[in-house]
């Protein structure tokens, strides 16, 4: 079997929503990148090795500073950009993903074949299917002589297209304990790209998920620039190392910023050394300042809320990002 790129593994072939919207041979959009003299739409993804580093604080400020962009909140497991931006939801769509077996007792003859066949012990001897244990493999449905078991699609969450004062935003809400967040990330990101292409926007600004798992891989696949927010702690360094390995797999040298660097200047220096030796471009450091929390409480990006040292540092980092991305 040929080896497929990771991104192909999360295509939903049953969805009517285009996960890959850029089929240029069918494209008649005058704003399309092919028809814009080759000006390619840029994708800036902001990630961190883990939650709580200040990723969304910085993304929100970038959103306030960036011109002509579409935003995508790809942190679908714990989306929070909408709390700051108070979006006006224009469209709501269901996100369906995976399947669960449903048994019809009116047709079942209680032969017990499905109970034996289910490797996940999801079917009780009384022929009840536990939807939590069911992995949706479909074996029971396949072997049932009575065709008493049907596979039904799961409703796993919702995704939205909204307007904000900073421009269009695509965001989502994954259901509790729902899986396939990588697929939802891809969907959110590609919808944002579609809006950007159709509207003639230059940039898709993506608030990525934390960690280095499937959702992060989905968010950085195809990115022009990956911006990593880290913090001056041992776990911040380890997370940066993991993220840097991941981005190098995609041939991307990440831009890095150390948030709250003054809380541990020695560790900040260690991270600086790491960046120097490992091809990461450290483009800024931001001081700890309680005004960041104050700005969040007031639902404003810190660059709008204040003009203090932290806001100035973020503005400088954004200018450097812009210089690199354009």
User: From the centroid of its chain, how far is CA 130?
Assistant: 30
Q: According to the binding rule CB under 6 A, does residue 27 interact with ligand SF4? A: no
- Calpha distance 91→45 (Å, rounded): 24
d(CA 31, CA 196): 9
CA distance 75 to 210: 7
Please report the beta strands in the chain, taking only residues with DSSP state E, as ranges in sequence order.
Answer: 42-48, 69-73, 88-103, 149-164, 167-174, 203-210, 225-230, 255-259, 281-286
The least distance separating ligand SF4 from the CB of residue 97, rounded to whole angstroms, comes to: 15
Quick check: 138 binds ligand SF4 (CB under 6 A)?
yes
Say how many C-beta atoms besides its own lie within 10 A of residue 226's C-beta.
Answer: 25
Q: In this complex, which beta carbon is closest to ligand SF4, that of residue 28 or of residue 119?
A: 119
Position 139 contacts ligand SF4 (CB under 6 A):
yes
- Residue number with CB closer to ligand SF4 (117 or 291): 117
For position 122 contacting ligand SF4 by CB under 6 A, the verdict is yes
Which residues 161-200 are close enough to bind ligand SF4 by CB under 6 A?
A: none
Regarding 154 and contact with ligand SF4 (CB under 6 A), the answer is no
114 binds ligand SF4 (CB under 6 A): yes
Q: Is 302 in the site for ligand SF4 (CB under 6 A)?
A: no
Question: Hey, which residues between 44 and 83 contact ligand SF4 (CB under 6 A)?
Answer: none
Select 61 or 156, whichever has its Cβ closest to ligand SF4: 156
Among 45, 140, 214, 271, binds ligand SF4 (CB under 6 A): 140
Tell me how far, at minimum, the Cβ of 214 lies from ligand SF4, in Å. 21
Position among 11, 35, 83, 120 found at the interface with ligand SF4 (CB under 6 A):
120
Nearer to ligand SF4, 143 or 263 (CB): 143
Helices (H), the chain: 55-65, 81-85, 113-117, 139-143, 181-199, 214-220, 234-249, 265-277, 291-297, 302-305, 309-325
- Report if residue 7 touches ligand SF4, rule: CB under 6 A: no
Distance from CA of residue 117 to its chain's centroid?
36
User: Of 11-19, 132-140, 202-210, 282-290, which segment contacts ligand SF4 by CB under 6 A?
Assistant: 132-140
Q: Token digits for 153?
A: 């699609």
Q: Decide whether 10 or 101 has the Cβ nearer to ligand SF4.
A: 101
Q: How far is the CB of 148 from ligand SF4 (least distance, A)?
A: 4
Candidate residues 12, 135, 198, 320; the one interacting with ligand SF4 per rule CB under 6 A: 135
Out of 27, 108, 324, 325, point to the residue binding ligand SF4 (CB under 6 A). Answer: 108
**Rounded to whole angstroms, how far apart are CA atoms 124 and 115?**
7
205 half-sphere exposure, CB direction, 13 A CA radius = 25
Closest CA to 156 of 77, 84, 89: 77
The answer to whether the CB of 260 falls within 8 A of the CB of 288 is: yes
Under rule CB under 6 A, residue 250 binds ligand SF4: no
Q: Give the largest CA-CA distance in the chain.
A: 73
Please, which residue, 144 or 221, has the CB nearer to ligand SF4? 144
Q: Which residue number, 27 or 139, has a Cβ lying nearer to ligand SF4?
A: 139
Count of positions on this chain that bind ligand SF4 (CB under 6 A): 28
Structure tokens at 86: 């108070």
Label residues 165-182 b or e (16+ Cβ within 10 Å = b): ebbbbbbbbbeeebbbbb
CA 189 to chain centre: 7
Q: State how far the Cα of 246 lies from the Cα of 243, in Å rounded to an integer.
A: 5
The binding site for ligand SF4 (CB under 6 A) comprises 101, 103, 108-114, 117-118, 120, 122-123, 127, 129, 134-140, 144-146, 148-149
């Amino acid at each position: 079997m040929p080896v497929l790129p990771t991104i192909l593994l999360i295509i939903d072939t049953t969805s009517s929503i285009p996960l890959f919207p850029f089929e240029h041979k069918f494209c008649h959009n005058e704003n399309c990148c092919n028809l814009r003299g080759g000006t390619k739409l840029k994708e800036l993804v902001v990630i961190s090795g883990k939650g709580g580093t200040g990723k969304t604080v910085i993304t929100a400020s970038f959103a306030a500073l960036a011109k002509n962009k579409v935003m995508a909140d790809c942190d679908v497991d714990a989306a929070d950009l909408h709390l700051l931006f108070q979006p006006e939801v224009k469209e709501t769509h269901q996100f369906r993903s995976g399947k669960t077996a449903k048994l019809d007792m009116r047709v079942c003859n209680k032969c017990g074949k499905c109970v034996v066949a289910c490797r996940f012990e999801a079917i009780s001897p009384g022929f009840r299917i536990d939807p939590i244990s069911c992995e949706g493999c479909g074996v029971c449905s396949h072997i049932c002589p009575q065709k008493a078991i049907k596979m039904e699609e799961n409703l796993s969450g919702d995704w939205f297209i909204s307007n904000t004062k900073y421009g269009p935003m695509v965001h989502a809400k994954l259901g509790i304990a729902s899986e396939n967040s990588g697929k939802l990330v891809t969907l959110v990101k590609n919808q944002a790209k579609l809006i950007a292409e159709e509207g003639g926007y230059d940039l898709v600004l993506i608030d990525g998920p934390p960690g280095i798992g499937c959702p992060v891989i989905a968010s950085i696949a195809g990115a022009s620039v990956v911006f990593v927010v880290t913090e001056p702690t041992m776990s911040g360094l380890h997370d940066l190392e993991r993220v840097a390995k991941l981005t190098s797999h995609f041939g991307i040298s990440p831009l890095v910023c150390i948030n709250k660097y003054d809380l541990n200047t020695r560790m900040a220096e260690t991270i600086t050394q790491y960046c120097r030796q490992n091809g990461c471009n450290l483009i800024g450091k931001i001081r700890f300042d309680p005004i960041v929390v104050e700005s969040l409480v007031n639902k404003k990006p810190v660059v709008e809320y204040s003009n203090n040292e932290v806001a100035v540092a973020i503005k400088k980092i954004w200018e450097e990002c812009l210089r690199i991305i354009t």
